[in-house]
Amino acid sequence: MSQQSVQAFCNRLKKNEKQLGKWARKNGITALRVFDRDIPEVPLRVERYGDEVVVWIYDSAKLTPQFVDVLLDGLRETLSPSQLHVKQRNRQFEGTQYEKLDGDDREFAVTEYGCSFGVNLQKYLDTGLFLDHRDTRFRVQQEASGKRLLNLFCYTGAFSIHAAVGGAKHTTSVDLSKTYLTWTQRNFARNDVDNAAFTTKPQKLHDDGHWLVHQDTFAFLRDAAAANLMYDLVVLDPPTMSKSKRMDGSLDVQRDHVELIEGVGRLLADDGVLYFSNNYKGFELDEQALSSWTTKEITPGSLPKDIRDVTIHRCFRMHR
């Protein structure tokens, strides 16, 4: 690794920050990606959250500790973060997406398109907000007025918040993690929506308010169908793979996406819309098994301006 690589890294950081700054301010965006392995010799992802910066190191075998230190010194000089958080990202295995790290519970707010979200840059591998879905969240916000939204594998509830801010009359946010549902509840409160309530019984849901369902998604789909629940908008963004003691079996998005989508189909109102996405690099939609659906891949249009990795996710808009 050469000094030229360090200088190229700093120059790209400065260029990206300048180009993205005006756009971000115009849209009230305070969390954005400013570098994503733009230079092959520098396998780093850099995201700014307000005045703080997170760096994920990929392919650490390519970097000596000394070179990492030089890169981080250059980043500090270029971006002047109030705090710098450094993490290592390896290829995802079962259960690693939301891995808990040694860190504190300090949470602070970032914003996008009129919504506010709490992020934690130390405690987990991920921050609480996936930036690559920002534009799809805004799309849901624009479509949500007067509608009922179902958000499966909701994580910290960002899609639900956008729907509520957009005027949805009802949201249901489902996740197997009580930690992330509690985080979702805090996010509702940050956006002056104080009536988000917990339940483990989909049969008790009704058509107004905001519900947090602590349940495995497969079980929820079965129970919600038995209760004849209906939704106008559904967001389905499962992890690539997952296994938990609280799950019946495991999740593999390639293997299980047809079952999940068909389960959603039993809950979808007339003219209802499903947004289905995942970040499995080798994903192939089983169009034959899903031939009763009208499907449009919207991946290119779903990538925000600051996300330059065109393989980061696949996104589809689907209806019956």
pLDDT for 194: 79
Cβ atoms of residues 211 and 171 within 8 Å:
yes
pLDDT for 195: 79
The dihedral built from the CA positions of residue 222, 226, 229 and 230, taken in this order, carries a sign that is: positive
* Boundaries of every domain in the chain: 3-88, 132-319
3-state secondary structure of 293: coil
Cβ atoms of residues 168 and 144 within 8 Å:
yes
| Cα separation, 68 vs 227, whole angstroms | 54
CB burial string 239-255: b at 16+ within 10 A, e below: bbbbeeeeeeeebbbee
pLDDT for 156: 98
| Cα separation, 166 vs 146, whole angstroms | 9
Amino acid at 84: L
Cβ atoms of residues 79 and 13 within 8 Å:
yes
pLDDT for 89: 78
Write the CA distances from 308 to 2, 22, 63, 177, 313, integer angstroms.
Answer: 25, 18, 22, 30, 11
- Could you tell me what percentage of the chain is helix, strand and coil, using 3-state DSSP and rounding each to the nearest 5? 35, 30, 40
Number of other residues whose CB lies within 10 A of the CB of residue 298:
17
| Cα separation, 96 vs 75, whole angstroms | 27
**CA-closest candidate to residue 214, choices 226, 227, 195, 201:** 201
Fold of 132-319: Rossmann fold (3.40.50)
Amino acid at 187: N
The number of residues making up the chain comes to 320
pLDDT for 200: 80
The CATH number fitting domain 3-88, selected from 3.30.365.10, 3.30.750.80, 3.40.50.360, 2.102.10.10: 3.30.750.80
Residue-by-residue DSSP string for 129-194 = --GGGHHHHHHHHHH-TT-EEEEES-TT-HHHHHHHHTT-SEEEEEES-HHHHHHHHHHHHHTT--
- Alpha-helix residue ranges (DSSP H) falling in the chain: 3-26, 65-79, 134-143, 158-165, 178-190, 217-226, 253-265, 299-302
Could you give the maximum distance between any two Cα atoms of the chain, in Å? 63
pLDDT for 202: 80
pLDDT along the chain (320 residues), means of 10: 87 96 96 96 96 92 87 97 91 47 83 98 96 98 97 98 97 96 97 87 78 96 94 97 74 98 98 98 97 98 96 97
CB burial string 48-81: b at 16+ within 10 A, e below: bbbebbbbbbbeeeebeeebbebbbebbeebbeb
